Every structure is written in C-alpha cells, then in structure tokens.
C-alpha cells in the first residue's frame, strides 16, 4: 500500500482545503449577521433598515476598492514564485488603498442621499464595508491554503463583531456596530502582510509607474465588478428609494440569500487554484468544465433547501420584524441556482478561456436589466418585485456568459483544428490565372502546404452585371482561412474584407497594381485633380486599410505603404521574379515544363533555409554574384567582333518605359546596333514615327507580341534587354517584369537607376547596368560601353536565374509563415 500513500495524502489535503474554503467563507459571511438579531430586537425595522442600507452601500464600495484582484489574482498567484507573489500582493494593497480614499467620499455622499433615519451611521457602516475589501485573501486562495485565511482574516473579522453583538444585547448604542466593523477591516491587513513577509523593502520596489500600470491592467476586471455591484449589492438601496416600506423584508431575504451564496462561493474559490495551476491551457480548460458542472449541481441542491428553510429561519433570526414569505423564498432559491452557475462560468471557465472581457459584458447586461428592474418592480410589487428584478439581472448575466463560453470554446477548437489541418486560401477575382504574378503566389502557397482555390473574375455583360456577379461570388465564399484578393481588383477589397472577417478569415490584398498609378500616372486617363483621380485614390486607400496583409513587389514600395497603413496591417514585399520559361538559353516549348520543375525544386531547397529578413534573403545570392563578378563567366569578347550589338525592348508606350528616351539613345550610340521592339500594333505605330525622326541612324525591327515560350527565344537572340527609363515615382520604385526576365535569361540588362534595384544588385553584379532616368545620352553611353568593353560573353551569364529564384522563393516562404501566424491569431481571437 505504500506506493499509494502519496496519492491518498494528496486527496486528504484536497479535502481539507475544500472543507476549509467551505467553512471559512460561511464564518466570514456570518460575522456581519451576528449582530442582526440584536439590532432587529432592540432597534426594530427602522434600525435594521439603516444597517442593511449601510451594508448595501459598503458592499458596492468594496467591489470598487477590491479593484478586480479577486478575479485575476488567484490563478496568477498559483504559478508565482514567493518573491513575485510578495510584489503582487504589495501592489494590490497599494492600489486598493489609493482607490479607497475617493470611494469613501462617495459612500458618505450616497448615505446622505438615501432616505434613512441615521445617515452618519449608514456612512460609517458603508466605509467599514469598503475597508473590508483591502485584504490578501485572494493570495491564500490561489496558493490553496485555507489555514492562513482562518487565522489572519476570518477570526480577526468575526471576533470584533461578536463582541459588538454582545454589547448591543447588553444595551450598548448602535454605534458600537460600525466601530467593530472598522476594527475587523484593519486587523486582517496587518496580520496578512506579516505572514507573507511584506515590509518596507517590498513596497519600495513599487514605483509610481508600476502602480499606475497595475491600476490600468486591473480596470478590465474592475469594470465588470463595478457593474455587477449595481445588481448584487445596490438593490437594497434601490428598493429603499423606490419602496421604502419593503426594504426590511427584501433586505432579510437578500441577506440570508447572500449568506448562502457566500458559503457556496467556497467551491469555485477552492477550485480556482486547481483550475489555474497547470501551465497547459488545455488542461486548465478541461478542469474549468469539471468545476462548472460541480457548481451547478451544488447550486441546485442548496437552492432547493433554501426554499424550504428560509421562511422559518427569517422569522426567528429577525425577531419577527422581517419574515420572508414562501413565494419570496422561491425566487431567492432560483437566484441561488443562477448565481452559483454564473460564478463558475465567469470566474472559472471564461478566465480559463481568456474571456475576461466577456465577464465585463455580462455584468453590463446585468446592470442594464437589474437597475431599472428593481426600481420599477419594487414599486409595483414590493419585496417580491425587487427580488424578481435581481433574478432577471442575474439571468441576463448568465445568458451572456453562456453565449461567450460557447463562442470562445468554438474558436479554441477551430484554432486546434487549424493547427493540425491544411489551411484553405480563396484567390479572389483572378482575371487571368496564367498571369505570372498570381500564378507564382499560388505556386508558392501550395508548395508551403496551403490549399488554394481560384475564384475567377466575371467577364461579359454590363459593368453593373459583372459587379453584381462578383459581389454574389464574394458573399458565397465559405470555409476559407485566407481571402487573397488578386491584383487589379482593389475596388472590391472592402467587401472581401467584410466577408472574410465575418467568417473568421485573414484578408490579403495584392496591391501590386494601384488604381491611381495605372489610370492617372500610366495612362493619363484624367487630370490629377479630377473626380476620377479622387475616386482612384479612394479605391487605393480603402483597399490598403481593408487588409490584414498587404502585398507589394519591392521593398521601396513596401516602405512607402508602411507609413500610411494601420499598424495592424503587415506589408510584405513579394518580388515579381522570373517565370519558369526564363532561362539562360532558348529552349523548345516542350522542354519548358522540365525546366520549370528543375528550377522550382532548386528554389524549394534554397527557400527551406531562407532567413527572415531582406539582407538574409539577398545573402543567398550575394556570394554567387560576387563570384560572377570575379570571373566565373566565359571569357568576354567585344560585340563588334561578331556583328552589331543586338538590343531588345518589349512593353507598352507609357511614360514608365520611356520609349522616346530609348529611340533617341539608339540614334546617338555611334556604334553598330540592331534594335528590336516588341509591342502592340498601336504602340509600334508610335515607335515607327519616332524612328522616322532619327533617319538612318537606327537599325530597328518591329514585332507584335509573341507567346511567352517564344519570348524566351527572342531574348536569347539578343545581347541586351532594355528596362524602363521613365522619371515618374513609379519608375523609381518598381522592378519591371522584363528586368527579371532578361537577367534570368542571362542577358545584360540596362535600365534606369532606382532605389528599388538595391534588392537585385548583390545577386546579379555587373550584369545589371544602371543609367540616370530619362537621360538618352547616358543610355547611349552605356550601350557604347557594352559594345566596346569585354562585357558580353560567348554564353549567357551563369547562375543568375537560380539566384533570383532563390531570393524570390525565400520571400514567399516568409509570406507563407506570416499567413500561418495570422490564421492562428485570428482563430484564437
């Protein structure tokens, strides 16, 4: 049997604690009632009314002075070291004393406003009640030690009141009673701090800043306690205002019922340390559920017994001046059951679920129902009406707490499911699934373990019809953890955000293509101060503020966005990158798939070990870039040795690209250069007109757009790829697709210098040539340097595609990790 002794010993200790926590509150709650028979017998219904009103005001004041430590303290102290425990208790006492001073003034004001016979007597009783909440009982509760509560709190509170009761019975004036209450409030504080070893050294550690911070932290549980006091402690005072003649009987039922509830409080009190003890939150929650059902069962039993015995007990206890009728006893018994249950749902289950704000909300509901309920119903039906008002308030409290428990528990279970299941992403309003930007995002999310569904943008029909179908589609999105809005769809961002948040999802907006920069800066569809321009700005800003995560293509643009979006919004730079077909040499279309698989595998290997910041992402390729600079390429040769320099431009004729700068520079090179322009027919016509102005100085071929696979061959047949040369803000902040593609294909790329290119410089070295924006002469000089210098090689630049893909993959891996964090946080919110 020896191996079982430790378990038996623990059981005995647990039983002793439970019995101790059951007996001590009963004795402590009985202490103020010890003098009641003497008060009722000697001073009649009016004397009992004044005492009851004073105790009601004092109980309400005590809730404020207690400052919420009784809620948050026990589970906290159960896990603290002795040193931290002393600081916590000292902090609690200091904050409570600071609050006690102004609350006492309020007690005296109320005592003189309520219609009573002796306002000063009521004021002193209320002050003593407020003082009684300054104690260290919550500390012993959290530690699971009822012994110190008996010797340092219960007995010092009870003995002065017993002495006062004897003195009253012997003919002493009623003022003896509040004097005894004041003494019973002061002595336990001195004894409790002495037992815990709290002295001047502990108090010196409590800086004013720490005290203020503690008060702010305790405001959340305090608010709930203050609100609850309005329907727990104040009803006697409210009944005195509305129906003074019913106060004696209502106060009798209320005091006996509160005494029973004080005794019942032993169970959740004893279980707080047990519930809050485990470090594992799931174990705490399981224990909270066990404690809840135990409280419900005990509450039902005690409530039934209360209905049976209270009429007879009240007749004798209050000397016949305030007898509780059977119907009033039934209401009181129901109240016992409801309060016992709500104590467990709030103080145990909601605290374990981290739902303390819901306790405040439930208290607000009780306040809204209880105060008018007691005032109105007491006037209509006296003591029964007042009790019905209190019962309605407590029922409202329980209803709100039950709803909160259900919601929070569902969120917890959903969070657990999400942690162990595949996260679902809806890629919303995708115009072209093959568009490189959104295809790359989906590829990397799927590689990271997400399930991604494409929700296409509607085409055809009127604008209103398309928007209506888009709205209907968005509203029908269900079961997704992430709602990812595709590029060029910012107009519907607020709607997607609303639907996602209502369904517990994370909102991601791809801000790659802004409405204003496209319509106004690029295409010049309206003046910057026009209504259309204002509409575009509004669309952009609403989209930015709707997102939990905002995607952009460069760090320069990300930095600009971070300055104007809310702090809660994460801005992530996802590089455009190069598509799978962009390799160091032309490949037949049939082989493009194999190349894509090979590059994706290499990128996955690099991304798996990618670091968490920009410098680390670039570092994966920086060393290789330096090696390329040092001579890993084949030996160089001048372009003139094998014919004209072959230069390629492809894109639109918008200010960003700077086509006039390119044409002008080609006319000024003074070296053999053969240029190819690939664009739409309307753009080629404008380019042809500009070339005509240059005369015979430019040898150019104009081609209409070709499929992506053929574009790889076109790039391979040229020596230099030209980027963008505009002078707009956008030109200084983006890295165009063709820059990525030209570099990945192993060609020299010449483009306008911009801060955005800082991401690529460590990866590509001298393969990337930068010139001042809008400077045709500088571009011509760069082309001459390429022709004259040993820059071009017999083959393409080696390894650039792999380095660029590794960098882009690392950024996408960071994005996927951030999404998982946001999904977990949203599930646990």
Name the pLDDT band for 225 (thresholds 50, 70, 90). low
Tell me the pLDDT tens digit for each residue of 94-133.
888 888 989 999 999 999 888 888 899 999 999 998 998 8
Which of 73-87, 166-180, 727-741 bottoms out in mean pLDDT, i.e. has the lowest?
A: 73-87
715: left (phi over 0), alpha (psi -120 to 50) or beta: alpha
- DSSP string over 651-691: S--STTT-HHHHHHHHHH--S-EEEEEE--HHHHHHHHHHH
The three-class DSSP label of residue 769 is: strand
On the question of pLDDT at 624 being above 80, the answer is no
The band of 796, judged by pLDDT with boundaries at 50, 70 and 90, is low
- pLDDT confidence tier of residue 215, bands split at 50, 70 and 90: confident
What angle (nearest 5°) sits at the alpha carbon of residue 283, between those of residues 277 and 289?
Answer: 100
Q: Which of 574, 559, 428 is nearest to 491 (CA)?
A: 428
Q: Calculate what percentage of the chain has a pLDDT beyond 90.
A: 32
| Predicted confidence (pLDDT) per residue in 524-574, tens digit | 888 989 999 999 999 999 999 999 999 999 999 999 999 999 889 999 999
Q: Which carries the bigger pLDDT value, residue 419 or residue 522? A: 522
Answer yes or no: is pLDDT of 659 > 60: yes
Q: State how far the Cα of 822 lies from the Cα of 803, in Å rounded to an integer.
A: 29
pLDDT at residue 593 tops 70: no
Average pLDDT of the chain? 82
Which tops the pLDDT comparison, 629 or 573?
Answer: 573
Burial class (CB in 10 A: 0-12, 13-18, 19+), 383: buried
Q: Which of 128, 135, 149, 150 is nearest to 67 (CA)?
A: 135
Check: CB of residue 91 under 8 Å from CB of residue 206: yes
What does the pLDDT look like over 364-377, one tens digit per residue?
898 889 889 999 99
Between residues 264 and 609, the one the model is more confident about: 264
Q: What is the pLDDT of residues 250-275, one digit of tens each?
A: 888 888 888 788 778 777 877 777 78
Name the range with the highest mean pLDDT among 54-63, 241-250, 526-535: 526-535
Euclidean distance between CA atoms 47 and 600, whole angstroms: 88
Q: Which position has the higher pLDDT, 277 or 422?
A: 422
Interatomic CA distance for residues 346 and 527, integer angstroms: 60
Handedness of CA 406, 409, 415, 419 (dihedral sign): negative
Q: Is the pLDDT of residue 396 over 80?
A: yes
Q: What is the per-residue pLDDT for 632?
A: 32
* Greater pLDDT, 352 or 715: 715
The reported pLDDT for the residue numbered 21 is 57
DSSP state of 506: E
- Residue 388 pLDDT > 90, yes or no? yes
pLDDT at 31: 63
**What's residue 828's pLDDT?**
57
607, pLDDT greater than 60: no
DSSP state of 793: B
SS (H, E, C) 389-440: HHHHHHHHHHHHHHHHHHHHHHHHHHHHHHHCCCCEEEEEEECCCCCHHHHH
State residue 739's pLDDT score: 94
Whether the predicted pLDDT of 343 surpasses 60: yes
Q: How far apart are CA 385 and CA 713, in angstroms?
A: 90
Query: Where residue 78 falls among pLDDT bands split at 50, 70, 90?
Result: low
Contacts of 259 (CB under 8 A, 6+ apart): 26, 29, 30, 33
Strand 482-485 relative to strand 506-510, pairing: parallel
| pLDDT 10s digits, 155-204 | 888 889 889 989 988 889 989 999 999 998 899 888 888 888 888 888 88
Pair 594, 587: CB distance under 8 Å: no
Q: Bigger pLDDT: 80 or 152? A: 152
């Amino acid at each position: 049997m020896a191996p079982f002794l430790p378990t038996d010993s623990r059981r005995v200790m647990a039983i002793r604690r439970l019995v101790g926590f059951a007996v001590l509150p009963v004795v402590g709650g009985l202490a103020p009632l010890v003098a009641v028979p003497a008060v009722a017998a000697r001073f009649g219904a009016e004397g009992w009314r004044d005492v009851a009103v004073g105790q009601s005001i004092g109980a309400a004041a005590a809730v404020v002075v207690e400052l919420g430590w009784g809620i948050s303290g026990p589970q906290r102290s159960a896990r603290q070291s002795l040193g931290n425990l002393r600081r916590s208790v000292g902090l609690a006492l200091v904050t409570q004393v600071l609050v006690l001073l102004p609350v006492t003034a309020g007690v005296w004001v109320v005592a003189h406003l309520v219609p009573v016979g002796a306002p000063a007597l009521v004021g002193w009783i209320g002050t003593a009640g407020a003082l009684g909440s300054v104690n260290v009982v919550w500390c012993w509760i959290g530690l699971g030690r009822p012994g110190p509560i008996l010797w340092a709190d219960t007995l010092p509170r009870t003995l002065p009141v017993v002495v006062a009761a004897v003195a009253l019975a012997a003919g002493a004036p009623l003022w003896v009673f509040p004097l005894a209450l004041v003494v019973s409030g002061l002595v336990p504080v001195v004894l409790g701090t002495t037992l815990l070893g709290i002295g001047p050294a502990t108090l010196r550690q409590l800086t004013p800043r720490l005290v203020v911070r503690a008060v702010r932290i305790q405001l959340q549980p305090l608010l709930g306690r203050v609100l609850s006091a309005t329907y727990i402690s104040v009803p006697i005072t409210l009944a005195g205002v509305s129906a003074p003649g019913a106060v004696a009987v209502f106060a009798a039922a209320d005091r006996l019922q509160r005494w029973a509830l004080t005794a019942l409080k032993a169970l959740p009190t004893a279980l707080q340390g047990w519930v809050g003890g485990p470090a594992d939150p799931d174990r705490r929650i399981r224990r909270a559920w066990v404690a809840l059902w135990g409280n419900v069962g005990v509450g039902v039993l005690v409530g039934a017994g209360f209905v049976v015995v209270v009429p007879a007990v009240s007749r004798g206890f209050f000397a016949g001046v305030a007898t509780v009728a059977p119907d009033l006893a039934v209401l009181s018994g129901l109240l016992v059951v409801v309060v016992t249950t709500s104590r467990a749902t709030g103080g145990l289950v909601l605290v374990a679920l981290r739902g303390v704000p819901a306790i405040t909300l439930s208290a607000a509901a009780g306040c809204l129902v209880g105060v008018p309920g007691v005032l109105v119903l007491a006037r209509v039906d006296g003591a029964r009406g007042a009790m019905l008002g209190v019962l309605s308030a407590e029922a409202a409290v329980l209803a709100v707490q039950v709803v909160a428990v259900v919601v929070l528990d569902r969120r917890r279970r959903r969070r657990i499911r999400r942690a162990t299941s595949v996260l679902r992403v809806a890629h919303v309003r995708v115009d072209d699934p093959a568009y490189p930007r959104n295809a790359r995002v989906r590829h990397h999310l799927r590689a990271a373990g997400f399930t991604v569904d494409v929700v296409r943008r509607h085409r055809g029909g009127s604008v209103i019809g398309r928007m209506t179908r888009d709205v209907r589609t968005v509203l029908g999105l269900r079961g997704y953890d992430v709602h990812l809005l595709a590029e060029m769809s910012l107009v519907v961002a607020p709607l997607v955000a609303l639907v996602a948040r209502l369904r517990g999802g994370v909102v991601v907006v791809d801000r790659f293509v802004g409405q204003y920069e496209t319509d106004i800066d690029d295409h010049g569809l309206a003046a910057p101060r026009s209504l259309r321009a204002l509409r575009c700005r509004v669309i952009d800003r609403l989209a930015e503020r709707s997102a939990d995560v905002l995607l952009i293509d460069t760090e320069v643009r990300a930095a600009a966005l971070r300055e104007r979006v809310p702090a809660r919004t994460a801005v992530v730079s996802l590089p455009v990158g190069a598509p799978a077909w962009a390799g160091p040499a032309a490949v037949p279309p049939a082989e493009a798939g194999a190349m894509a698989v090979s590059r994706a595998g290499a990128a996955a290997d690099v991304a798996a070990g990618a670091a968490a910041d920009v410098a680390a992402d670039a570092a994966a390729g920086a060393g290789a870039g330096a090696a390329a600079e040092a001579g890993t390429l084949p030996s160089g040769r001048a372009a003139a040795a094998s014919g004209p320099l072959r230069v390629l431009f492809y894109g639109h004729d918008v200010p960003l690209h700077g086509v006039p700068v390119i044409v002008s520079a080609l006319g000024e090179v003074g070296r053999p250069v053969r240029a190819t322009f690939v664009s739409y027919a309307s753009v080629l016509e404008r380019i042809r007109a500009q070339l005509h102005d240059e005369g015979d100085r430019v040898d150019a071929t104009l081609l209409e757009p070709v499929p992506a696979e053929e574009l790889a061959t076109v790039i391979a047949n040229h020596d230099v790829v030209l980027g963008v040369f505009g002078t707009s803000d956008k030109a200084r902040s983006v890295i165009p697709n063709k820059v990525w593609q030209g570099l990945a294909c192993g060609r020299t790329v010449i483009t306008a210098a911009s801060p955005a290119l800082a991401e690529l410089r460590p990866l590509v070295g001298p393969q990337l040539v930068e010139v001042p924006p809008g400077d045709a002469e500088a571009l011509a000089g760069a082309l001459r340097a390429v022709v004259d210098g040993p820059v071009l090689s017999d083959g393409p630049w080696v390894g650039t595609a792999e380095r660029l893909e590794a960098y882009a993959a690392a950024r996408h891996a960071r994005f996927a990790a951030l999404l998982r964090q946001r999904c977990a946080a949203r599930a646990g919110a």
